[in-house]
Structure 1
Amino acid sequence: MSNPELGILMLCIFIVTILLGFPIAFTLIALALGFGYFAIGDIIFTLLVQRAYGVMANDVLIAVPLFLFMGYLVERANILDRLFKSLQLAFNAVPASLAVASLITCAMFATATGIVGAVVTLMGLLALPAMLKAGYDRQLASGVICAGGCLGILIPPSIMLILYGAMAGVSVVRLYAAALFPGLLLAGLYVLYVVIRALINPKVAPKLPKEERKVPLLKIFAALLTSFFPLAFLIMSVLGAILFGLATPHEAAGIGALGAIVLAAAYGQLTLSRFKESVFLTARTSAMVCWLFVGSWIFSSVFSLLGGHGLIEEWLLGLNMTPLQFLILAQLVIFLLGWPLEWTEIIIIFVPIFLPLLPAFGIDPLFFGVLVALNIQTSFLTPPMAMSAFYLKGIAPHLQLMEIFKGILPFLAMVFVAMVLFYTFPAIGLWLPGYLYN
């Protein structure tokens, strides 16, 4: 039964209800069942059951709980303090050394955990006081913590890329290969910005005292050996196993989960309470993701059945846009959705609206996925709804929210620079998957 007006009404009701704070997954399911029953009758309940089973049997999604467990356990292994101090020693001769060490620590820890709120909170407790004590500009220090904490969304092994791959039917292995260099590019732009800023105006990032900068190389190596190298080895083992075809993503995620257990035990942090808490948080987050998948699929099916997708596709194609104009429109919509929504809802609910249009504009879904992953960074960094700013404000009440927002803006600009560079030179992301899996 085609009724595009009814489909658009369903979409509008959904947007209003989530803005009012209703649970997204169950809102999707409720609207899909209500409108679906009107359109096709009792069969909608059979479709719901089949989709729920399909999500549980999806091999790609097995990696999600395993990577989550790895992240939660690494977070509780208390490695962050050692990691930051060792990197601080290693980069003590670099301008804005504390900020550079903070960004690299954020990138590594965010990659290992994939949990933005946890990284921003922990780094806010650890690195922010160190930077402020050293006389760093409050805005710069805030921006470093907020921007660095979001890098795990993009740099593999990223859970966001797993979800996009499942939605778009794109190989997660190729997505990981495609996102690696853009992720490193963005992290490099962050580091470059703080170093140049410190060179132009040393007052915003004063050098450490000379006695703190004169550290024996043996001491630096020993510090890295007990903090940086174990975590780097865990990340590279997981990522390398995936990229070089030694293991599937869910097998590599299993290796990562086991490695996190070994790492926590090696640091003497593997207690029963921490293990149980990690399992509980993993189960809760995985259940949320799976129900979002179920709700998104059944909602999209009913929306398409009513003719909503066809109406949007016909309207967009009727605008006679060029591929660049379509990409700008799609990324603008995703950017705006990042204000009220989490990245999971954007990827699972709204990105699929654009996916059927990619062939019409000759856009590679792999390229589109990495561009979306870059764009998703902005959902945590764009005032007034920058969640990373609120995470930091929660543990640093002495900071003004406006200070944090001002500190974030230059890093937000770096995200747009990275997106422009990736569009202009797509080989930044597409060369590696092409070389490895041509």
Structure 2
Amino acid sequence: MKMRKELWFGFAIMALVVAGAVGMLLGVETIMRGHLGLLMLSLVVVAIMLGFPTAFTLMGMGMIFTWLAYDSDITRTLDLMVQAAYKSMANDVLIAIPLFVFMGYLVERANLIEKLFKSLHLAMARVPGSLAVATLITCAIFATATGIVGAVVTLMGLLALPAMLRAGYSTPMSAGAITAGGCLGILIPPSVLLILYGATAGVSVVQLYAGAFFPGIMLAGLYVMYVILMAKLKPAWAPPLSAEERQVVLPAMTAALPAETQQYAPVRLLDALKGKRNAQVPTAYVLRQLALVVMPGLLFVLLATSSWRAVTTVSVEEAYGIQPIGFNDNSPRVASEFGLQEPPVEGGLQEPPQESTGLQEPPGADSGALAEPPGAEPAQSAPSAVGEPPGSTAGATPQAATQPAPTWWWVMFGVLGAATALFYLFLSFARLEIFKMLLGSFFPLLTLIMAVLGSIVFGLATPTEAAAMGAFGGFVLAAAYKRLSMDVVRESVYLTAKTSAMVCWLFVGSAIFSAAFALLGGQELIEQWVLSMNLSKIEFMVLSQVVIFLLGWPLEWTEIIVIFMPIFIPLLSHFGVDPLFFGLLVALNLQTAFLSPPVAMSAFYLKGVAPPHVRLNQIFLGMLPFMGIQVLAIVLLYVWPQIGLWLPQLLYK
């Protein structure tokens, strides 16, 4: 029987791993315990590629090699297993995982994705490659709300792939847009990957979420730009929609005004309130349509005025430079990190100057009474408060000062103002109907996402509390769309328990494996090898990212996080790399784990629901350009780290 190319590729990688391990053992004069740790690492990779369950492979290998490290002492081996498992399960950060997963399954079953895709592709009908662009935006929003790659790729494969193929889109571009867009949930918060990395590296999940926000938007934007560019250069790959596909059907009440799709909506609705020409249309209906028209403008004014006060009002402490004890304007804020500082030691404490005759009496002491120093003024009334700011009135409550609005505020509201103006400038009845469709699909999801992420990023709730709030929001959405039932809840709970158990067992297996690896000295051996290469910071970053990129071929992101991150993280301090920044690069890089053959899980998810004529090789071919875009995004983030670090520094400086 002829073997498939994917199997040949997988077996070739396994052969290289085994050959490398054997060559390492044969090439050293004395086999040390550290070499046994590297052998364990190689065997774990091969066993996972052969299809053994990752979590139990890690636990099994960890137990076997721990037993060897302890010289066949089974009691100490079992003690290590129990301690590692207890330490992992006592991690509070992991509580957020089942809650976020549960929120994702409830949102998925609210059946919002079909309405969202339809409204987005109508809203972008005139954009080149509109169906693929709508697919990417739908995937990004839905992946952010769910964080479940398999669910997003599967649903979009059932919904968007047939629509794109019917419209004449090329199969590789259609498949690439779905698989790449579905993987954005790995990076964009709330992401389970970031929770696992934060728990593994000891980095704040809150700061990781804040840091991953803009890189995620950047990656999605690069995907959209690529699709639009290719649709312009290769129109046969993504032909424009026909007039029938762009047509919007007006409701019966709106058509009875009478109204046409391209007619300017605000003026016609105002005219409908005059006279008796529209007696067949209730006035309440017209007023509701006008309320929808006015809503974006009112929302913009409300946001602008409320945020203006927030960014221009300065508290009394900031206005007058009042700072905590131990700080000043010219010294770095280091007390919080290093505690109280010793006074300058130059010369030590000095004695006061003394005359040769010893201590002298103050002037006027012989007169028998203490005298005022020459030129002294009568004592004035003491101020009402110590440290009263200059120019303040005693006893009065100091008023808050103002400052100019920052540049980012002007930029953000300039863009929002331009978008609002364009909305009203071209508001036809067709666009009003599309806006109503977005109100029923896009904005509920956006509200849920912003409520969850905003409460985390601005410190209103911990990730666990925000996840609980998101799970409740999933309940509300499912109920609002009349999709909430006992069967839906039962299925969501079952899938949540299944996914959470997988992640938690994986974390336990990783803890046991890492303990055995460190016990054998494998970590120390790798550190010595890396440090002996005398790498610069840039060379180390390139080497680490290339290794992670290559690991994405045979392994999934979960295995890379729990197996290989504990190897890289201890090296970061030596090279002066911020673990937060390294985590953002890793999150971007691990997108490749779902897009790189032969273990490209998103390709297999899509193949499972695609029409029979869509071949796996076509899906792989469509994913390759998006893999190149991911590499470009990694380079951009490394060259301009403020893409990921600006928001955490702004919020948590």
TM-score class, shorter-chain normalisation, is: over 0.9
Q: For the residues of structure 1 that align with 2:651 and 2:495, how far apart are their CA atoms? A: 35
Q: For the residues of structure 2 that align with 1:141 and 1:19, how far apart are their CA atoms? A: 29
- Are 1:434 and 2:649 counterparts? yes
- Are 1:402 and 2:435 counterparts? no
- Offset of residue 269 of structure 1: 1.0
52, 60, 63: which is aligned to 1:22? 52
Counterpart for residue 424 of structure 1 = 639
- Are 1:119 and 2:152 counterparts? yes
Counterpart for residue 354 of structure 1 = 568
- Offset of residue 294 of structure 1: 1.2
The one-letter code sitting in structure 2 at the alignment partner of 1:360 is H
- Offset of residue 415 of structure 1: 0.4
Q: For the residues of structure 2 that align with 1:139 and 1:4, how far apart are their CA atoms? A: 46
Question: Residue 192 of structure 1 aligns to a residue in which SS?
Answer: helix
Q: For the residues of structure 2 that align with 1:16 and 1:73, how far apart are their CA atoms? A: 36
**TM-score, structure 2 normalization:** 0.66
432, 443, 465: which is aligned to 1:218? 432
My pick for the range that moved more, 166-175 or 207-216, is 207-216
The one-letter code sitting in structure 2 at the alignment partner of 1:415 is Q
Counterpart for residue 114 of structure 2 = 81
- Offset of residue 18 of structure 1: 1.7
Q: For the residues of structure 1 that align with 2:474 and 2:246, how far apart are their CA atoms? A: 32
- Offset of residue 181 of structure 1: 0.4
Distance 1:307 1:77, change over 3 A: same
Counterpart for residue 161 of structure 1 = 194
Question: Residue 135 of structure 1 aligns to a residue in which SS?
Answer: coil
Counterpart for residue 387 of structure 1 = 601
The one-letter code sitting in structure 2 at the alignment partner of 1:197 is M
Q: How many residues align?
A: 437
Tell me if structure 1 keeps the 8 A contact 2:184–2:216: yes
Give CA deviations for 1:15-49 in whole Å, capped at 9, x if unaligned. 22222222221121122222222323322322322
Q: For the residues of structure 2 that align with 1:94 and 1:16, how far apart are their CA atoms? A: 46
- Please, what is the CA RMSD of the aligned residues? 1.3
- Are 1:33 and 2:72 counterparts? no
The one-letter code sitting in structure 2 at the alignment partner of 1:104 is I
Question: Residue 226 of structure 1 aligns to a residue in which SS?
Answer: helix
The one-letter code sitting in structure 2 at the alignment partner of 1:190 is Y
- Offset of residue 57 of structure 1: 2.2
Q: For the residues of structure 2 that align with 1:18 and 1:65, how far apart are their CA atoms? A: 25
Q: 1:255-404 alignment to 2 at 5 Å?
A: 255-396=469-610, 397-404=612-619
The one-letter code sitting in structure 2 at the alignment partner of 1:371 is L
- Offset of residue 214 of structure 1: 5.2
Give CA deviations for 1:255-276 in whole Å, capped at 9, x if unaligned. 0100001111111111111111
Unmatched 5+ stretches in structure 1: none
Give CA deviations for 1:295-349 in whole Å, capped at 9, x if unaligned. 1112111211111100000001111112222112211221122122221111111
Q: For the residues of structure 1 that align with 2:186 and 2:521, how far apart are their CA atoms? A: 33
- Offset of residue 384 of structure 1: 3.4
Q: For the residues of structure 2 that align with 1:294 and 1:261, how far apart are their CA atoms? A: 30
Give CA deviations for 1:103-133 in whole Å, capped at 9, x if unaligned. 0000011111111111111101101111111
- Are 1:151 and 2:184 counterparts? yes
83, 99, 105: which is aligned to 1:72? 105
Structure with larger Rg:
2
Q: For the residues of structure 2 that align with 1:404 and 1:268, how far apart are their CA atoms? A: 35
- Offset of residue 85 of structure 1: 0.6
Counterpart for residue 143 of structure 2 = 110
Counterpart for residue 136 of structure 1 = 169
- Offset of residue 95 of structure 1: 1.4
Q: For the residues of structure 1 that align with 2:465 and 2:238, how far apart are their CA atoms? A: 43
Q: 1:244-259 alignment to 2 at 5 Å?
A: 244-259=458-473
Tell me if structure 1 keeps the 8 A contact 2:208–2:584: yes
Q: For the residues of structure 2 that align with 1:289 and 1:332, how far apart are their CA atoms? A: 25
Tell me if structure 1 keeps the 8 A contact 2:122–2:434: yes
32, 54, 62: which is aligned to 2:95? 62
Counterpart for residue 44 of structure 1 = 77
Q: For the residues of structure 2 that align with 1:24 and 1:381, how far apart are their CA atoms? A: 20
Q: For the residues of structure 2 that align with 1:430 and 1:306, how far apart are their CA atoms? A: 36
Q: For the residues of structure 1 that align with 2:506 and 2:615, how far apart are their CA atoms? A: 35
Q: For the residues of structure 1 that align with 2:195 and 2:480, how far apart are their CA atoms? A: 29
- Offset of residue 211 of structure 1: 4.4
- Offset of residue 242 of structure 1: 0.4
Counterpart for residue 370 of structure 2 = none
My pick for the range that moved more, 58-67 or 192-201, is 192-201
Q: For the residues of structure 2 that align with 1:83 and 1:76, how far apart are their CA atoms? A: 14
Q: For the residues of structure 1 that align with 2:490 and 2:544, how far apart are their CA atoms? A: 41
Q: For the residues of structure 2 that align with 1:305 and 1:103, how far apart are their CA atoms? A: 46
Question: Residue 190 of structure 2 aligns to a residue in which SS?
Answer: coil
Unmatched 5+ stretches in structure 2: 1-31, 249-429
Q: For the residues of structure 2 that align with 1:114 and 1:432, how far apart are their CA atoms? A: 22
Counterpart for residue 446 of structure 2 = 232
Distance 1:406 1:13, change over 3 A: closer
Counterpart for residue 123 of structure 2 = 90
Q: For the residues of structure 1 that align with 2:622 and 2:646, how far apart are their CA atoms? A: 33
Q: 1:188-199 alignment to 2 at 5 Å?
A: 188-199=221-232
My pick for the range that moved more, 397-406 or 224-233, is 397-406
Tell me if structure 1 keeps the 8 A contact 2:209–2:457: yes
**Runs (4+) off by over 4 Å:** none
Q: Percent identity?
A: 65
My pick for the range that moved more, 419-428 or 375-384, is 375-384
Counterpart for residue 412 of structure 1 = 627
**TM-score, structure 1 normalization:** 0.97
The one-letter code sitting in structure 2 at the alignment partner of 1:264 is A
